[in-house]
Amino acid sequence: MKNLVTTFFVFCIIYAGTNLAQNVELLGSLNPYPGSAYAAIWGYAANGREYALMGAEGGLSIIDVTDPSTPVEVEFIPGPFAPPYEWREIKTHLNYAYVVSEGGGSGSGMQIIDLSSLPSSASLVATYSNTFTTAHNIYIADGFAYIVGTGGGGGMHILDLSNPTSPVQTAYYSASGYIHDVYVWNDTAYISSADMYDLADLSNKSNPQLISQSAALPGIYAHSGWLTEDKRYFIACEEFNVRDLTVWDLQDRTTWDLEVPSWQMAGTSPIHNIHILGNYAHISYYKEGYIVMDISVPTDPKFVGQYDTYPSTGGGTYNGAWGVYPYLPSGNVIVSDMSTGLYVCKFTPPVTEVNNEIVNPAEFRLEQNYPNPFNPSTKIIYQIADQGFVSLKIYDVLGNEVAILVNENKPAGSYEVKFNATELPSGVYLAKLNSANNVQTIKMSLVK
């Protein structure tokens, strides 16, 4: 393991004024319940329409954001509530939303909401409470739900969603103690467990096993994190303002190598959650709002965008942006602010930034797919300079492999392949081309 760097690198952003906007345009906003509190946010797209699923005081607010200038709440699903602190986390699977809360009382457990009748309606079809009634967070990948921070121990419940409305628990994992958040990719859980970060092997869903643990840094609060799209680096959020971001190299899963001990905003604003799309990290800050970082070089993150959803910070620390969701097919970004509700934004990368890693583009190139957006098929053209093994794979934004278009030896030349997404839901997908030491990725939007 590399020696931990004892001198923290602190990068500061200094600014003035209110409602700061840099490379981020506000397209629209909605505060459906003024004076109430809001929590997490997730997105959903179907039949050419886009929705924000936003945790609200006492339930889930489902908002149509297809026209971002005029968001409209189309449904409110009541849920458990624990005043005065609101908490609600949401993820989707197929045409269902799964909602967990730390609220008790009637309706406790994981709510399962049918979204298939949107925009006309949505309905609560089941509540799972067989093995837990309260939870801090949820992640869904490859047909399994991972529920963490549950009452009575705080570990991770693994639920099989083969029957989406009747989940079946396959295991309860407790080796990491209390788990605050989790990210799952390729049968590996990347666990934020308050004191440190852990990796767990999920290849056997009935018997998950601890793989490795990070060092316990001074003042650390392992809050949440997300993998870069090459799945090598884990960028973590620390929340309590001792440090904001840490960057861990996980090329060897048995060793957590700390590459960036600290990246921190100026002032006293705690970071909250992070989501990564392409070369950018989309981050929510309680005081600074929606922040975008360029992570094209993960060990050297750079501030490139901001929209402050809550410029008034005199009322306490935990009032501003709770969550960010950057994966809608339109490319719009939805943000939930704890005090003022929903914001729909558009991030435009600086003109000096490069969206894709291009290695010798005159000889190795992955063209942007056409058409884009597409429904249900699109063409992808690529070029390789030398004979060798080539792979062209499609991933969803959570890193799940959804299609293999090319996986064989190819002579040098230009090629065109067709990607048919008839069986896939609307959303943003990534096409990744590998040949020898060359890698290039493009974003594609499927809009049905």
Q: Which domains does the chain have, with CATH numbers?
A: 21-347 (2.130.10.10), 365-446 (2.60.40.1930)
Rounded Cα gap, residues 113 and 120, in angstroms: 14
Query: Residue 354: pLDDT above 50?
Result: no
Q: Which residues contact 204 (CB under 8 A, 6 or more apart)?
A: none
Stated as kind and residue range, the H or E segment containing 101 is none
Average pLDDT over residues 316-339: 91
Collapsing DSSP to helix, strand or coil, 43 comes out as: strand
Where residue 351 falls among pLDDT bands split at 50, 70, 90? Answer: low
Rounded Cα gap, residues 395 and 277, in angstroms: 12
Q: Which residues contact 163 (CB under 8 A, 6 or more apart)?
A: none
Q: Look up residue 57 and give its two tokens.
A: 């005081």
Query: Residue 357: pLDDT above 90?
Result: no
Rounded Cα gap, residues 380 and 361, in angstroms: 16
CB 49 within 8 A of CB 330: no
Buried b (16+ CB within 10 A) or exposed e, 358-381: eeeeeebbbbebeeebbeeebebe
Q: Look up residue 266 and give its two tokens.
A: 């100026």
Which residue, 277, 309, 282, 307, is CA-closest to 293? 282
pLDDT of residue 1: 35
CB 324 within 8 A of CB 237: no
123-144 per-position pLDDT tens digit: 999 999 999 999 999 999 999 9
Q: Look up residue 139 and give its two tokens.
A: 């992640």
pLDDT of residue 12: 36
| More confident call, 397 vs 106 | 397
Where residue 217 falls among pLDDT bands split at 50, 70, 90? Answer: confident
pLDDT more than 70, % of the chain: 90
Residue 413 burial by CB count (10 A; 0-12/13-18/19+): exposed, middle or buried?
Answer: exposed
Amino acid at 288: E
Average pLDDT over residues 48-76: 97
Has this prediction a pTM greater than 0.95? no
**In 18-167, beta strands by DSSP E:** 21-22, 24-30, 38-46, 49-56, 59-64, 72-78, 89-93, 96-100, 110-114, 123-128, 137-141, 144-148, 156-160
Residue 299 burial by CB count (10 A; 0-12/13-18/19+): exposed, middle or buried?
Answer: exposed
CB 395 within 8 A of CB 442: no
Q: Look up residue 114 and give its two tokens.
A: 């049918």
335-350 per-position pLDDT tens digit: 999 999 999 999 998 8
